[in-house]
Every structure is written in C-alpha cells, then in structure tokens.
Amino acid sequence: MKSLLFTCMLVPWLAAASARKSDQDSQLIVGSLPGRELNGYFSDPLNSRRARRAVSLADEPDDSPVSEGGDASDLPTCLLCVCLTGSVYCEEVSPDMTSVPTLPKETAYLYARFNKIKKISTKDFAGILTLKRIDLTGNLISEIEDGAFSKLALLESLSLAENRLVKLPMLPAKLTSFNANNNFLKTRGVKANAFKKLTKLTHLYLADNQLEAVPQIPDSVQILHLQNNNITEVNVDTFCRSNDTYLRPSLNEVRLDGNPVVLSKNPDSFTCMKVLPSGRYR
C-alpha cells in the first residue's frame, strides 16, 4: 500500500520536473550556457560581453581632445588635414600649425591657408618633386630660406599672399602664377631679375605692398597687379622699350591705382601696350 502511494506521488513530481527541463531547453539561446561550448560558440556570458565590448571599442573613433597648448607638428599630417589623392588641405588647423607639415611623397597640391606658419625652410619641400601648386595665403611667414622653392621643377602656382615678407625668394622657372599681395615688400627686397627668367609667368600679383618701382616684367605676363604701393615713376623702359617696334600683345590688364605716380606725365611709356594701366592720370 505504501509502495503504491509513493509511486502515485512520484509520477506527478517527475512529470513536473520533466516539463520544467523541457521549458528551459526551449528557451536556450546560442551562447547562454555558462562555461560550455554550444554549436561552435563560446557560451560564457561574461566572456561574450567582454568580447563584444572589445570589438565595439576598437571600432569607435578616438574623440579624446588634443591638449591645449599643443602644436600641430606633434600629430600626423593626414589626421590634422584632409588628404586626398595628390592633394593636402590644411586650412585653419587647430591646434596651431606653425610650420609646413610633413607631406605625402605624391603630393601635387598643397593648401595650407590661414594658419600660423612663420618660416619656410629648404627641407619643407625637399623630395616632394610632384608639387604643382602651393597656397600659403594668410600665414605669418616672414622668412623663406634660399632654395626653398627653386628645385620644384613642376611648380606652376605659388601664393604667398597675406604674409609678412620683406623680400622674395628665388622662384622656379615653370611658374605661371605668383601671388605676393598684402606683404611688406619694398623694391630692395625684390631682385631686379626676380621674374626675368620666368618665361611662362602669366599672372603676377604684387598689390598692397611698399614697392617704390615697377620690377622687370617678363613678356609672357598677361595680368599684372601693382595697386596700392609707393610707385612714384614709370618711364619708357618700364613696360616698353626705346625700340618703336617692340610690342606687348599679351599684357591686357595692368593695375597701378593707389600709387603716387601720375601716369599722364609719360604718355610714351605705354605705346607698346594694347590697354592703358588703371591709375592716376592727373
């Protein structure tokens, strides 16, 4: 009798236990059994969370701020600047960029405008022979070492506008456009033959300086800006020559406005030109 009673009590308990186990098995998720491997996945929840966290941290960008007072030279160029194929854009860089950054070897175009670069040295562009354009507008450049640009055989466009230059460096022979507007250039800081050998130069901008005379201008120049200087005189040899047959058909824009010179005092000074300069005539 007792055996029968025990059996009757045991059967429901075993059925309930079996149901609970079945229910637990039906809720199993891959990786949910601690300390075991299920279907090829590690199942320890703690290890799984650690692994997922490690992956997510590795994928997240490092947004930690650069400490104040740092210098851009301490960081990789393409972290500070936008580097595209052959082009580097470093404009208004923070932290302050006080020198030319190290450039990728294939750089052809450099735009490093509106920074705090103070000096250009010969090593800044050494070995970057692919450069075609350099724009350093709006920096604090007051010194350029001799030869800093002269070995850049492919350089066609150079802008040093809005800096603090008092003299010009030697320029590469293939230059087609040169901009030195808004500096502190005087005639003694511009060598007499500074542009003479630039036979491909078409655009020359020297406005808003302190030049006392017009420098020698190559025949290839088409656009010449000399406004807002201290030029006091032009003569027959400034743009033309004593030879009556000499012509300047390419020179189609000359700006001399904002200078003390009275252009009408020497009317023969422009006979070789197809347009008269803008400026003061009385």
Distance CA(231)–CA(186), nearest Å, equals 10
**pLDDT of amino acid 245:** 79
**pLDDT of amino acid 72:** 54
Q: CA nearest 131: which of 148, 112, 107?
A: 107
Phi/psi class of residue 11: alpha, beta or left (left: φ > 0; alpha: ψ in -120 to 50)?
A: alpha
Q: Where are the domains of the chain?
A: 83-160, 165-281
Q: What is the pLDDT along the chain (282 residues), one digit of tens a residue?
A: 444 334 444 444 444 444 444 444 444 333 333 333 333 333 343 343 333 333 333 333 344 334 344 455 556 899 989 999 999 999 999 889 999 999 999 999 999 999 999 999 999 999 899 999 999 999 999 999 999 998 999 999 999 999 999 999 999 999 999 999 999 999 999 988 899 899 999 999 999 999 999 999 999 999 999 999 999 999 999 999 877 778 899 999 999 999 999 999 988 899 999 999 999 998
**pLDDT of amino acid 208:** 98
Query: Which two structure tokens, joined as six digits, stand for 16?
Result: 């309930």
Contacts of 162 (CB under 8 A, 6+ apart): 137, 138, 139, 181, 182, 183
| pTM of the predicted protein model | 0.74
Fold agreement between 83-160 and 165-281: yes
**pLDDT of amino acid 28:** 36
**pLDDT of amino acid 42:** 34
From first CA to last CA, the distance across the chain in angstroms is 138
Classify domain 165-281 by CATH architecture. Alpha-Beta Horseshoe (3.80)
Q: Are 159 and 179 in contact (CB under 8 A)?
A: yes
Which uninterrupted H or E stretch holds 120? Answer: strand 119-120
Is domain 83-160 in CATH 3.40.50.300, yes or no? no
- What residue has token string 């470093």? 90
